[in-house]
Structure 1
Amino acid sequence: MTERGWNGCSGIRLIDGHLDLAFGAALGRDLTLELEELRRADPVPGQTATVTFGELRAAGTRVCLATLFAQPQGPESPEGYADHAGARRQALAQLDQYRRWEDAGHLRLLRTGAEVAAHLADPAAPLGAVLLMEGADPVRDADDLSFWVGAGVRVLGPAWGRTRYAGGTDAPGGLTEAGRELMAAMRSLGVALDASHLDDAAFWEALAFGTRVVATHANSRALVPGNRHLSDAMARAIGERDGVIGLVLLSPFLRAGWGPGQPRAGLATVAAHARHYARLVGWDHIGLGTDLDGGFGQEKAPAGVDRYRDVGRVLEVLPAAHRAAVAGGNWARWLTRYL
């Protein structure tokens, strides 16, 4: 597929609003391998890998929002964190991983809109990565946020499930007192809010602080019920603030009631979420937030997306006039204007 890119150049230029690259490395995956080699020795059972640096290059991905994601302790993650110190250790290890990848030339960490613009203008540049903290438990308190900003974090999502700062997925509740202090610090330091995973009460409280806002990976609640997804009112609020909403390529987030063993959701379901958002906020506020390496594998990706280089197929089911914008143009505008 050939398309006009965000800056008028031929060829697809993807920007992915959500990739858990360092989390995958923490699970033992070597993303510097070619995908076939990684799959032959994949240390993660039951999740066929789809993402490597080679796959990202093959897809034409120029920039991504790359996460620092500390996994909390739970039935499926007994090794996860149980307190702030454990969350911080995970995030620091992932930060070190990104720095080592940068030293090896696999990616370049980007901190400002000007750096993003220069990076996108350089066809020989490696993957550009803007650091996004998904779930704020690694942050000790509001005073500690400056440390993470100094380390390169430019976007922060206070919740995943419930955190010390906010209610989140399947964990209703608003901001805690610590969460309100964190939001004030984010506003002061210019850190953008990722509204993905925020419970409704926390979402509306957080917006009142006036920070820049996106939803890096969030589908529509009108099509798939649950507080993990954005209500129409939430989507409109993000669009009104010139934010971008990233479409998630995960079957249970695309088709209501999807479960293991069922056929994977089709690309038409991705288009349905995109079109629904477009009716609410317009095509200029929709992007990709694939989350393809976010704790699931090929088994739960949409049919037709068997590896990351297939992401361009998503664009083929969208209106031709808006493909370049959804592929990366909208994220490019937001990152260069607000980062």
Structure 2
Amino acid sequence: MESVNPPEPPLVDAHLDLAHNVLDMGLDLTRPLEELRRQHASGDVPTVTLPALVEAGAALVFATLFVGPYHPEHNPEGYRTPDEAHARAWRQLELYRQWEHEGRVRLVTDRAGLESHLEAWKKDGVVGLLVLMEGADPIRTPDELGFWADAGVRLVGPAWGGTRYAGGSWNGTGGLTELGRELMAALEDEPRVALDASHLSERAFWEALERYEGPVLASHSNARRFVNEERHLTDDMIRAVGARNGVVGTVLYNAFLQAGWQRGDARPDLEVAVRNMAHVADLIGWERVGIGSDFDGGFGARELPEPLDRPADLRRLEPALPPGTFAGVLGENWLRWLRGWLP
């Protein structure tokens, strides 16, 4: 691998739906970003490819296994059964393994592997992937958690919308189901997997933290202080993540940063993202603030704050953040959290 001398400090993005974009959206993420944009000139403007992540100095990405449930209007091709969800998530994991075989990424599953990857990254710029399951329906029964842990999954978010396990962002305020309570017990017994609280309904969030005492993160969640919707975290929820030494990743979608923003509105500037980060920091400290951009999560560059256009632009946050906080927010806070619990 040719030396690329990636920019420092390292970027860690705690939420990108890479495999979903390839297998469900038909995007070839191995291409340069500008080439992908020319190929998909209509619709959302693509923001992420593997070469764009290398350019950005992305040392690590939390890469999701995300499969959408069936909906007659919004997702008629979605999964209808646990077996279908399982098969589609497995296909996404196989894509990440294929990329690793081709030398495009390195999969990270333990502390030693993280450190060896970071040393190699300084020379070759190859992006590391830590696998996050967003929505737990691919886990057909809670006793299958160990199977996914063996396969390399290190983070599990029980909900997206509502799942068989928990109420979620677009499924009212339901709490954990009986299966969800069993999943919390399985997580308690599986030290290789941490709980992602993003997308949990408020009720499910508190029930999960009551039943599970292991490591917790919110990979891509903003403060409800600015956008009062179930998708976001109340101040008490943010404090609870901080009390468990977790990190909260900021989502850089305008509608999650500015109340009332709609597609087609003028793009706000970076201040909307910085004020969200600052609010979280006021509650739990700058050392627990990170990035979970969700750049490729169903929206494009026109839906990001100015001047964000691609992963490399995340480095433009530096002058907007308080002195001494940029390296932590960009990636070091996530790396410290991972070093604290990875097997």
Shorter-chain TM-score tier:
over 0.9
**2:9 is the alignment partner of 1:12:** yes
Return 5+ residue gaps in structure 1 as ranges. Answer: 1-8
Aligned match of 1:198: 200
Return 5+ residue gaps in structure 2 as ranges. Answer: 1-5
Correspondence 1:209-288 to 2 at 5 A? 209-288=212-291
User: 1:309 and 1:36 mapped to 2: Cα distance?
Assistant: 13
Any runs of at least 4 consecutive aligned residues in structure 1 with deviations exceeding 6 A, and if so which? none
User: 2:27 and 2:319 mapped to 1: Cα distance?
Assistant: 30
Correspondence 1:86-97 to 2 at 5 A? 86-97=84-95
Mapped contact 1:175–1:206 kept (Cα < 8 A): yes
Task: Decide which moves more: 307-316 or 285-294.
Answer: 307-316
Aligned match of 1:21: 18
Mapped contact 1:157–1:194 kept (Cα < 8 A): yes
Aligned partner of 2:327 among 307, 324, 329: 324
Aligned partner of 2:312 among 309, 312, 332: 309
Mapped contact 1:110–1:130 kept (Cα < 8 A): yes
User: 2:313 and 2:177 mapped to 1: Cα distance?
Assistant: 41
Aligned match of 1:124: 123
TM (norm. structure 2) is 0.93
> Offset at 1:12?
2.8
Correspondence 1:159-170 to 2 at 5 A? 159-170=159-170
User: 1:25 and 1:10 mapped to 2: Cα distance?
Assistant: 27
Aligned match of 1:178: 179
Query: What per-residue deviation string (whole Å, max 9, x for no partner) do you get for residues 138-192 of structure 1?
Result: 0001111111111100110000000000000022111001001111111111210
> Offset at 1:202?
0.6
Query: What per-residue deviation string (whole Å, max 9, x for no partner) do you get for residues 8-41 of structure 1?
Result: x972310111111111111111111011111121
Mapped contact 1:174–1:205 kept (Cα < 8 A): yes
Aligned match of 1:145: 145
Mapped contact 1:132–1:153 kept (Cα < 8 A): yes
> Offset at 1:314?
2.6
Query: What per-residue deviation string (whole Å, max 9, x for no partner) do you get for residues 88-125 of structure 1?
Result: 12201101100110001110111012211222222125
> Offset at 1:211?
2.0
User: 1:168 and 1:314 mapped to 2: Cα distance?
Assistant: 30
Aligned match of 2:66: 69
The one-letter amino acid paired with 2:215 is R
**2:294 is the alignment partner of 1:291:** yes
3-state SS of the aligned residue for 1:338?
coil
3-state SS of the aligned residue for 2:145?
helix
Aligned match of 2:3: none
Aligned match of 1:4: none
Aligned match of 1:3: none
3-state SS of the aligned residue for 1:55?
helix
Task: Decide which moves more: 72-81 or 52-61.
Answer: 72-81
> Offset at 1:59?
0.9
3-state SS of the aligned residue for 2:167?
strand
User: 1:138 and 1:285 mapped to 2: Cα distance?
Assistant: 29
User: 1:166 and 1:120 mapped to 2: Cα distance?
Assistant: 35
The one-letter amino acid paired with 2:149 is V
Mapped contact 2:7–2:57 kept (Cα < 8 A): no
Q: Output the aligned Cα RMSD.
A: 1.4
Q: Percentage identity across aligned positions?
A: 48
User: 2:319 and 2:18 mapped to 1: Cα distance?
Assistant: 26
Mapped contact 1:235–1:277 kept (Cα < 8 A): yes
* Aligned pairs, number: 330
